[in-house]
């Protein structure tokens, strides 16, 4: 005999999918549009594949199939329970708690602090001037132009008349 | 706890697009300035191009606290809470003086249900809060203190928190707003439970807890976890709540869960209680009617279906992409109910619903066909004939309707069967390649086979009685001329039956039906032989 005070709850075989209805199987309101139906279907497929849902894969596909056909959808509405009231009180409550389209989403406002760009300086790595200078390598003059040093030497040896320089030109 | 946040997306994003294009050209030209990357990311963020903004921010070689804050905000916007927490935490390590970073990290951790981490962060948040230049700094600090008290009470499982007991209405509202904004039902529900224990007299807190529990139950129902949802809802049922709207939702959800766990009596009880609170809610009447149906009490469901039809009006929300939804819903519901009653062979009730459906769509052939069938079942041939006339006007060239005409023949004896089979044969010859006519013909023949067997048995019984009498009477007492007369009559009947079996054979398509007909024919042949031997 079990020592637990909790009563043993026996789980009956689930109702047939026609009696549960496609809306409950996909967790949809009866007003859901096509986009929402597809989104809920895709989400439940994931759950079923990961073993996070008791609903069989074929029932999930069946539910989407029914809801994709307008006539079958309306017939399913007639035969399915309503989770919410006509006034949509539950939907309003869900919205108050950030649940949108069946998914809870945080609604608190985060604090932003975009810096004023004029004063803002992102940290950037400034290289050391000496190491930059050391890293510079002056190329050697090529040997195939031997006349250049001679011409430069002659130019340097010419007398310079400062008054002959035409500044305007 | 309500400091203004800068908008992530701005309505007029054209100038941001122009700016972004300029920055991108600069980058393409070889500019490696981190500021350009940052400004491009901000432009993209303001355009709502979150992934592009993130990609640009990632290119910044040495991200500082502000860059990480921006990345965290983008993650939050994308609902990537773990990533946001990681980025805020890194930003917080770099800049422990930033209230924005601290606040975002705190709320992200709270949303993720990391109460201990929040408690560790709260002293720093409290220290930074007064330095924040917002006008509401006192409120901000007070809100954080209240939150800290609640988290401590929850963490220690101790409801005797003096600060929580002394909350003003404004404090309470602010705290409830924060908890509702978490978007994490489990965390909100746990904290609200602690708060209800700390403030047992607060109606607002109790209502908030009830609301959160109802939303959580809905989440469980959406996952078809009926029993878990029911368990949660039953705990609410024990705690009486004065709010009519939440009480109504609670009763309805309990009813739905009870239906799904096949406790139909409880479901009916809950739906009845819900209807007492909202007698004019059509969807509640529909739920109650369905619960009665699931229990197998169709008659009890009837008045609630009628109420459902009466109450359906503009208040009822409908899918946006299906025009005239409610009209279709009423029509399909009537058709469904007719089918349910037909299954139970309650023809009068079924007929009533189809008549109502026909009033909604007087020229719908499908509805009129069902009406015809039900008139026929209810033995109302005049109404059936009138309906058939209307059908013929709507679809003059429909061959099926000729078969319907044959449905009106009341088959009682061999002559009726012969008339029916002759009619079927005639229609099949007129429409030789019509699959639907053929199918219906096969069904009709299949339906008369049992009657033929019964008639054959009756004739055989008569014959057996005569033979028994002949065996028991001395020869001189037998009126042989009368015997021959009776045998001649029986022979005629058997021959007629034999002719009918011959007509049936080409009209059936299953081997089983063929076997039945052949056995019957063999039996009749033997009886014909016996009749002849008796002088017929």
CATH number of the domain at A28, please: 1.10.287
Give B322→chain A minimum CA distance, Å.
Answer: 8
Task: Find the distance separating the first CA and the last CA of chain A, reported in whole Å.
Answer: 116
A106 → closest Cβ in B64, B111, B225: B111
Residue A4 included in any domain = no
Residue A140 included in any domain = yes
Q: Does A71 touch chain B (CB under 8 A)?
A: yes
Tokens of B384: 């059936």
DSSP letters of A128-167? PHHHHHHH--PPPPPTT-THHHHHHHHHHHS---GGG--S
- Most A CBs within 10 A among B102, B110, B186, B332, hence the mutation to make, goes to B332
Q: Residues of B with CB below 8 A from A97's CB?
A: 180, 183, 185, 188, 211-212, 215
Same domain assignment for residues A136 and A72: no
Q: Is residue A1 predicted with pLDDT exceeding 50?
A: no
Q: Residues of B with CB below 8 A from A19's CB?
A: 294
Residue A164 included in any domain = no
Give A62→chain B minimum CA distance, Å.
Answer: 15
- List, for residues B174-210, the tens digit of each pLDDT value: 999 999 999 889 999 999 999 999 998 899 999 999 9
Among chain B residues, the shortest Cα distance to A47 is held by B223
Cα–Cα–Cα angle for B443, B448, B453, nearest 5°?
135
Taking residues B382-401, report their average pLDDT: 89
Q: Are A98 and B76 a contacting pair at CB < 8 A? A: no
- Tell me the residue range of the domain where A140 lies: 129-158
**Which 3 state secondary structure label does DSSP give B240?**
coil
Q: Are B332 and A124 a contacting pair at CB < 8 A? A: no
A105 → closest Cβ in B79, B262, B322: B79
Q: Rounded to whole angstroms, how far apart are CA atoms B198 and B162? A: 9
DSSP state of B61: S
B281 → closest Cβ in A85, A97, A111: A85
**Which 3 state secondary structure label does DSSP give B30?**
coil
Q: Rounded to whole angstroms, how far apart are CA atoms B132 and B3? A: 10
- List, for residues B318-329, the tens digit of each pLDDT value: 998 899 999 999
What per-residue confidence (pLDDT) applies to B14?
Answer: 81
Interface of A with B in 86-145 (CB under 8 A): 86-90, 93-94, 96-99, 102, 104-115, 117, 120-125
What per-residue confidence (pLDDT) applies to B402?
Answer: 84
Among chain B residues, the shortest Cα distance to A72 is held by B332
Taking residues B139-157, report their average pLDDT: 90
Q: Where does the pLDDT of residue A118 fall: very low under 50, low under 70, confident under 90, or very high at 90 and above? A: low
Reported as type and span, the H/E element at residue A104 is strand A103-104
Taking residues B473-493, report their average pLDDT: 85
What per-residue confidence (pLDDT) applies to A67?
Answer: 96
Least confident piece of the model among A29-33, A144-148, B496-500: A144-148
Cα→Cα distances A54→A13, A45, A76, B319, Å: 12, 11, 21, 28
Q: How many domains does chain A divide into?
A: 2
Tokens of B194: 């602690």
Whether B235 and B247 have beta carbons less than 8 Å apart is answered as no
Q: Residues of B with CB below 8 A from A109's CB?
A: 2-5
The distance from CA B74 to its chain's CA centroid, rounded to whole angstroms, is: 37
Domain closes at, from A96, A116, A146 = A96
Taking residues B89-104, report their average pLDDT: 94
Cα–Cα–Cα angle for B291, A69, B365, nearest 5°?
85
- List, for residues B233-281, the tens digit of each pLDDT value: 998 887 766 688 999 999 999 999 999 999 999 999 999 999 999 999 9
Q: Residues of B with CB below 8 A from A111's CB?
A: 3, 5, 99-100, 103-104
Tokens of B340: 């349910």
Q: Is residue B223 predicted with pLDDT exceeding 60?
A: yes
What per-residue confidence (pLDDT) applies to A141?
Answer: 64
Tokens of B526: 């033997």
Q: CA A72, A77, A79, A80: dihedral to nearest 10 degrees?
A: 130
Tokens of B121: 């962060």
DSSP letters of B145-201? HHHHHHHHHHHHT----HHHHT--HHHHHHHHHHHHTT--HHHHHHHHHHHHHHSTT
Residue A78 included in any domain = yes
Q: Flag whether the pTM goes above 0.95.
A: no
Q: Does A51 touch chain B (CB under 8 A)?
A: no
Same domain assignment for residues A133 and A92: no
Residue A85 included in any domain = yes
Same domain assignment for residues A88 and A139: no
Q: Does A57 touch chain B (CB under 8 A)?
A: no
- List, for residues B282-313, the tens digit of each pLDDT value: 999 999 999 999 999 999 999 999 999 999 99
Nearest residue to B110 via CA among B171, B161, B178, B195: B178
**Which 3 state secondary structure label does DSSP give B326?**
helix
Q: Are A86 and B42 a contacting pair at CB < 8 A? A: no
Mean residue pLDDT across chain B: 89
**Which 3 state secondary structure label does DSSP give A41?**
helix
What per-residue confidence (pLDDT) applies to B119?
Answer: 95
Burial B470-508 (b: 16+ CB within 10 A, else e): eeeeeeeeeeeeebeebbeebbebbebbbebbebbeebb
Nearest residue to B286 via CA among B298, B271, B270, B276: B271
Same domain assignment for residues A71 and A22: yes
Residue A107 included in any domain = no
Same domain assignment for residues A76 and A147: no
Q: Rounded to whole angstroms, how far apart are CA atoms B81 and A43? A: 19
Count CB neighbours of B314 within 10 A: 7
Same domain assignment for residues A92 and A154: no
What per-residue confidence (pLDDT) applies to B4?
Answer: 43
Q: Residues of A with CB below 8 A from B212's CB?
A: 97
Q: Rounded to whole angstroms, how far apart are CA atoms B253 and B228? A: 12
Taking residues A86-112, report their average pLDDT: 88
Taking residues A65-89, report their average pLDDT: 95
The distance from CA B77 to its chain's CA centroid, rounded to whole angstroms, is: 33
| Percent of all residues in chain B with a pLDDT value above 70, rounded to a whole number | 95
| Percent of all residues in chain B with a pLDDT value above 90, rounded to a whole number | 57
Give A138→chain B minimum CA distance, Å.
Answer: 25
Taking residues A142-165, report their average pLDDT: 78
The distance from CA B228 to its chain's CA centroid, rounded to whole angstroms, is: 20
What per-residue confidence (pLDDT) applies to B530?
Answer: 87
Residue B126's Cβ-side half-sphere holds a number of Cα atoms within 13 Å equal to: 14
B211 → closest Cβ in A33, A93, A98: A93
Whether B174 and B164 have beta carbons less than 8 Å apart is answered as no
Same domain assignment for residues A23 and A72: yes
A27 → closest Cβ in B42, B183, B223: B223
What per-residue confidence (pLDDT) applies to B133?
Answer: 57
Residue A29 included in any domain = yes
Domain closes at, from A78, A96, A114 = A96
Q: Rounded to whole angstroms, how far apart are CA atoms B60 and B52? A: 13
Tokens of A16: 């047939």
Q: Are B185 and A99 a contacting pair at CB < 8 A? A: yes
Residue A149 included in any domain = yes
């Amino acid at each position: 005999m079990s020592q637990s005070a909790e009563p043993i709850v026996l789980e009956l075989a689930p109702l047939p999918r026609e009696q549960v209805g496609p809306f409950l199987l996909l967790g949809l309101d009866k007003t859901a549009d096509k986009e929402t139906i597809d989104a809920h279907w895709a989400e439940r497929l994931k759950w079923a594949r990961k073993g996070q849902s008791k609903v069989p894969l074929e029932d999930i596909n069946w539910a989407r199939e029914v809801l994709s056909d307008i006539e079958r959808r309306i017939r399913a509405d007639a035969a399915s329970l309503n989770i919410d009231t006509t006034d949509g009180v539950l939907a309003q409550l869900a919205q108050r708690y950030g649940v949108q389209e069946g998914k809870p989403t945080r609604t608190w406002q985060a604090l932003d602090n975009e810096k004023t760009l004029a004063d803002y300086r992102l940290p950037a790595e400034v290289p050391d001037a000496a190491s930059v200078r050391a890293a510079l390598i002056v190329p050697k003059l090529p040997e195939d132009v031997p006349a250049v040093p001679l011409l430069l030497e002659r130019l340097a040896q010419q007398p310079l008349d400062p008054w002959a320089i035409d500044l305007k030109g | 706890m309500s400091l203004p946040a800068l908008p992530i997306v701005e309505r007029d994003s054209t100038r941001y697009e122009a700016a972004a294009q300029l920055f991108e050209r600069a980058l393409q030209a070889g500019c490696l300035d981190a500021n350009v990357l940052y400004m491009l990311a901000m432009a993209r963020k303001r355009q709502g191009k979150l992934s592009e903004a993130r990609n640009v921010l990632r290119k910044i070689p040495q991200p500082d606290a502000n860059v990480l804050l921006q990345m965290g905000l983008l993650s939050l916007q994308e609902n990537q809470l773990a990533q946001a927490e990681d980025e805020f935490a890194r930003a917080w390590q770099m800049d422990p003086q930033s209230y924005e970073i601290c606040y975002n990290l705190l709320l992200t951790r709270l949303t993720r249900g990391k109460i201990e981490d929040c408690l560790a962060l709260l002293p720093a948040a409290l220290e930074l809060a007064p330095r924040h230049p917002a006008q509401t700094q006192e409120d901000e600090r007070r809100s954080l203190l209240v939150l800290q008290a609640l988290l401590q009470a929850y963490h220690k499982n101790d409801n005797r928190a003096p600060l929580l007991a002394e909350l003003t209405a404004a404090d309470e509202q602010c705290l409830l707003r924060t908890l509702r904004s978490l978007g994490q039902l489990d965390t909100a529900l746990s904290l609200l439970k602690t708060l209800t224990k700390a403030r047992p007299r607060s109606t607002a807190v109790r209502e908030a807890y009830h609301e959160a529990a109802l939303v959580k139950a809905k989440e469980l129902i959406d996952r078809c976890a009926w029993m878990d949802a029911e368990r949660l809802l039953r705990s609410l049922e024990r705690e009486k709540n004065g709010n009519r709207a939440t009480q109504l939702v609670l009763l309805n959800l309990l009813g739905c869960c009870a239906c799904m766990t096949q406790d139909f009596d409880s479901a009916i009880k809950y739906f009845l209680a819900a209807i007492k609170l909202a007698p004019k809610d059509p969807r509640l009447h529909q739920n109650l009617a369905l619960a009665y149906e699931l229990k197998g009490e169709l008659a009890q469901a009837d008045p609630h279906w009628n109420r459902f039809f009466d109450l359906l009006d503009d208040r009822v929300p409908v899918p946006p992409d299906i025009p005239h939804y409610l009209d279709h819903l009423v029509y399909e519901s009537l058709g469904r109910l007719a089918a349910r009653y037909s299954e139970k062979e309650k023809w009068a009730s079924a007929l009533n619903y189809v008549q109502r459906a026909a009033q909604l769509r007087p020229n719908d052939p499908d509805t009129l066909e069902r009406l015809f069938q039900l008139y026929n079942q209810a033995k109302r041939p005049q109404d059936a004939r009138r309906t058939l006339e209307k059908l013929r006007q709507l679809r003059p060239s429909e061959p099926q309707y000729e078969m319907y005409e044959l449905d009106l023949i009341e088959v009682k004896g061999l002559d009726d069967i012969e008339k029916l089979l002759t009619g079927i044969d005639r229609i099949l010859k007129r429409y030789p390649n019509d699959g639907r006519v053929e199918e219906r013909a096969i069904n009709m023949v299949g339906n008369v086979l049992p009657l033929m067997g019964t008639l054959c048995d009756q004739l055989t019984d008569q014959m057996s009685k005569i033979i028994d009498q002949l065996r028991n009477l001395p020869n001189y007492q037998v009126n042989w001329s009368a015997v021959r007369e009776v045998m001649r009559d029986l022979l005629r009947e058997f021959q007629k039956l034999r002719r009918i079996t011959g007509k049936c054979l080409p009209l059936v398509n299953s081997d089983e039906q063929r076997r039945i007909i052949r056995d019957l024919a063999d039996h009749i042949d033997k009886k014909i032989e016996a009749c002849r031997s008796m002088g017929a």
